[in-house]
């Protein structure tokens, strides 16, 4: 319900309360003025019958002092006879008819407003139902996407854990390879040093053998010369 419709309903209800209060006040005033005569015409009574009753009650009344209910004969008097009461009753009838027409218009307006409210409520319920359906569909899609994302995240986590284990194993192997390379390098250096020492020893031995062969050759040559001579 919009604010404009609420304000309009508040105005209509306030006007209805005001008219009801005025009608009750007018009925009380007419009862006091007629001095116990029949009250003005009600909405449920036909207009001709009510006017006839008004005329009969007015003619059966007393002069002006009795009609107005006070000792002053000039208070509220136009004709000074039963016509004053008749005029007052007819005016009351006209006011009642006018109020009835206004009330009918008001009721028609209220019915129109109620129909508009009902239509708006129906439209709102339909829109709400449609919105709920769309929300449920979108929520279902989001839940499905969320579950898929969670599954992908778990898969990625498993892959990362596997990769981390592989990396850790490779690092351990790398350290082992570096250690083995260090050992191989140390062994190579030691082997090279031993080869160098062996080469030196061999060269020294070969040099000693050469010197010894030279001595032996000199001795053989001397012995051969001695045998020839």
The 10s digit of each residue's pLDDT in 52-82 is 444 444 444 444 434 444 444 444 456 677 7
Task: Say yes or no to pLDDT of 173 above 70.
Answer: yes
The two structure tokens encoding residue 49: 């019958």
State the number of CA atoms in the 13 A half-sphere of 73 facing the CB. Answer: 7
Point out the least confidently predicted range of 32-36, 60-64, 160-164, 218-222: 60-64
Name which residue leads in pLDDT, 62 or 128: 128
Of 94-98, 107-111, 127-131, the one with minimum mean pLDDT is 94-98
Question: Which pLDDT score, from 0 to 100, does residue 109 have?
Answer: 87
pLDDT band for 3, please (50, 70, 90 cuts).
Answer: low
Percent of the chain past pLDDT 70, that is, above it, reads 71
- Which region among 68-72, 183-187, 208-212 has the lowest average model confidence (pLDDT)? 68-72
Percent of the chain with pLDDT over 90: 27
**Which of 24-33, 117-126, 144-153, 203-212 tops mean pLDDT?**
144-153
pLDDT per residue as tens digits for the range 7-51 = 655 565 667 677 778 777 777 777 776 665 444 444 443 343 444
Torsion, Cα 217 222 227 228, to 10 degrees, reads 100
Burial 110-131 (b: 16+ CB within 10 A, else e): eeeeeeeeeeeeeeeeeeeeee
The predicted pLDDT at position 64 comes to 40
Exposed e or buried b for every residue in 74-84, given b needs 16+ CB within 10 A? eeebeeebbbb
pLDDT computed for residue 34 by the predictor: 67
């Amino acid at each position: 319900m919009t604010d404009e419709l609420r304000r309009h309903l508040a105005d209509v209800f306030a006007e209805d309360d005001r008219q009801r209060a005025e009608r009750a006040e007018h009925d009380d005033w007419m009862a006091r003025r007629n001095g116990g005569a029949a009250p003005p015409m009600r909405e449920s009574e036909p207009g001709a019958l009510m006017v006839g009753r008004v005329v009969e009650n007015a003619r059966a009344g007393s002069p002006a002092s009795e009609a107005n209910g006070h000792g002053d004969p000039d208070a509220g008097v136009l004709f000074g006879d039963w016509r004053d009461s008749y005029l007052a009753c007819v005016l009351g009838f006209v006011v009642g008819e006018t109020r009835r027409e206004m009330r009918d218009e008001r009721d028609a307006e209220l019915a129109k407003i109620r129909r508009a409210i009902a239509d708006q409520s129906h439209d709102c319920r339909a829109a709400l139902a449609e919105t709920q359906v769309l929300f449920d569909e979108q929520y279902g899609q989001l839940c499905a996407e969320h579950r898929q994302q969670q599954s992908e995240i778990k898969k990625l986590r498993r892959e990362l854990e596997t990769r981390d284990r592989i990396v850790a194993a490779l690092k351990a192997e790398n350290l082992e390879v570096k250690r083995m390379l260090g050992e191989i390098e140390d062994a190579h250096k030691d082997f090279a040093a031993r080869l160098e020492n062996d080469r030196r020893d061999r060269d020294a031995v070969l040099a000693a053998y050469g010197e010894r062969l030279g001595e032996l050759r000199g001795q053989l040559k001397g012995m051969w010369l001695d045998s020839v001579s």
